[in-house]
Structure 1
Amino acid sequence: MRLGIFVGCFAVAAVAVHFGLFPSGASGSNFVWVILLALVLSAPLSYVLLRKQRDEMSAQIVSTVDRTKARLEANRTREDHVTQ
């Protein structure tokens, strides 16, 4: 999804530079300028538009870490009971 937002911003930036809405790069660096412009545009858009997906992924990671901690604690208590 992030790549799609970047590609869309790249297309918009390329068109805007072509028609003079944004200044073009100096001495043949136009392609690099458009990439940097697309990065600057896509970063805040990704942050806002992909908030729901980021929150869902965070919840999945938290639940996975909690399960792993529970398994480690269960293994520790089992080892403690065996050695006593």
Structure 2
Amino acid sequence: MLRYTLMRLGVFAGCLAVVWGAVYAGLFPRGFGNSNGLWVLLLALVLSAPISWVVLRKERDRASVQIVTKVDRMKANLEANRSQEDGADETARAQGQPS
């Protein structure tokens, strides 16, 4: 997951550099008044999203599999703990002890 996040940040940084250069070269508009920095960040974000979606597809799928595996393992551990508690409770009730 960390790898995917770093790759996504890398794509954004690359887009930011390209957009910054294109704005100062006059290829893209400069924005209104003092909004130039915000304009560059927003444009880089808008451009990096579809690029990341296409380029990082395999890495995103790999991260998704890791997350699903962790969630399934946590659910299994929770169910195992729950069944242990139920077993201890049933044993205590069978022996006539308060739970």
Any gaps of 5 or more consecutive residues in structure 1? none
Q: Identity over the aligned pairs, expressed in percent? A: 62
Any gaps of 5 or more consecutive residues in structure 2? 1-6, 91-99
Q: 1:83 offset after TM fit, Å?
A: 3.0
Look at both structures and tell me which one has the larger radius of gyration over its CA atoms. Answer: 2
Q: Which residue of 2 aligns with 1:44?
A: 50
User: Structure 1 residues 69-78 or 40-49, which shifts more?
Assistant: 69-78
| Count, aligned residues | 84
1:4 to 2:10 alignment: yes
1:75 to 2:78 alignment: no
Q: CA RMSD in A?
A: 1.5
Q: 1:4 offset after TM fit, Å?
A: 1.2
The normalised TM-score by structure 1 is 0.84
**Tell me, what secondary structure is at the counterpart of 1:28?**
coil
1:64 to 2:70 alignment: yes
The normalised TM-score by structure 2 is 0.73
